[in-house]
């Protein structure tokens, strides 16, 4: 069976735009909440509740110099939290759209894999661009764990919404049968 035949035999119902947006909203919110919870736990363990969103909010509102002397204030925490959720919702909508394409074209699995790797690399490039001040404030291992937790939670939600995904991935790896 060729890849085209597999795709044609497995085409599910088309998702509506509202389904894509709603799934993206939920996936993005789940990812944002997981990351926020992870850093809240780290901040609580470190004895500085809400320090991470305050530091990133200071960076967002006042530039890199502001991360040297972070003060937890509602404006910075709220600004970064809103920015954080909006970015995750945008990523969630993009992933939801790609999952609907994956329902029809299983080869999209590789696009999703490359996207995940690019997003991981992008966070480290962003850290490098923002400078060493941020790298010393926000530990790379904490960011990696947060990204993996968020990606896992978002993927789990989207896989639950698209239950045939794993079967289709397996079909990609099967050898073509002679006709």
Q: What's the total number of domains in the chain?
A: 1
Tokens for 73?
């204030």
| pLDDT number for residue 176 | 52
Tokens for 143?
């960011």
| pLDDT number for residue 3 | 45
Q: 36: exposed, middle or buried (C-beta count within 10 Å: 0-12, 13-18, 19+)? A: buried
Q: Is 3 a domain residue? A: no
Q: Is 59 a domain residue? A: yes
Q: Is 1 a domain residue? A: no
Q: What is the DSSP code (8-state) at residue 19?
A: H
| pLDDT number for residue 159 | 86
Q: Is 11 a domain residue? A: no
Mark the ranges of the chain whose per-residue pLDDT is less than 70: 1-14, 124, 127-136, 175-179
Q: Is 132 a domain residue? A: yes
Q: Is 9 a domain residue? A: no
pTM equals 0.79
Find the domain containing 148 and state its range: 16-170
| pLDDT number for residue 132 | 53
Q: Write down the residue that tokens 């992933």 correspond to.
A: 95
3-state secondary structure of 49: coil
Q: Which residues, other chains included, contact 156 with Cβ-Cβ below 8 Å and sequence gap of 6+? A: none
Distance CA(7)–CA(140), nearest Å, equals 40
């Amino acid at each position: 069976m060729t890849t085209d035949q597999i795709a044609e035999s497995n085409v599910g119902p088309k998702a509506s735009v509202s389904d894509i947006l709603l799934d993206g909203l939920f996936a993005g919110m789940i990812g944002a909440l997981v990351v926020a919870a992870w850093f809240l736990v780290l901040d609580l363990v470190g004895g500085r509740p809400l320090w991470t969103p305050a530091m990133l909010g200071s960076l967002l509102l006042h530039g890199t110099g502001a991360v040297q002397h972070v003060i937890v204030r509602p404006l910075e925490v709220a600004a970064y939290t809103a920015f954080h959720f909006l970015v995750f919702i945008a990523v969630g909508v993009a992933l939801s759209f790609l999952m609907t394409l994956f329902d029809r074209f299983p080869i999209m699995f590789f696009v999703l894999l490359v996207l995940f790797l690019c997003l991981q690399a992008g966070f480290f490039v962003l850290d490098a661009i923002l400078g060493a001040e941020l790298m010393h404030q926000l530990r790379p291992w904490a960011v990696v764990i947060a990204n993996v937790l968020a990606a896992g939670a978002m993927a789990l939600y989207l896989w639950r919404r698209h239950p045939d995904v794993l079967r289709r991935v397996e079909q990609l790896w099967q050898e073509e049968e002679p006709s």
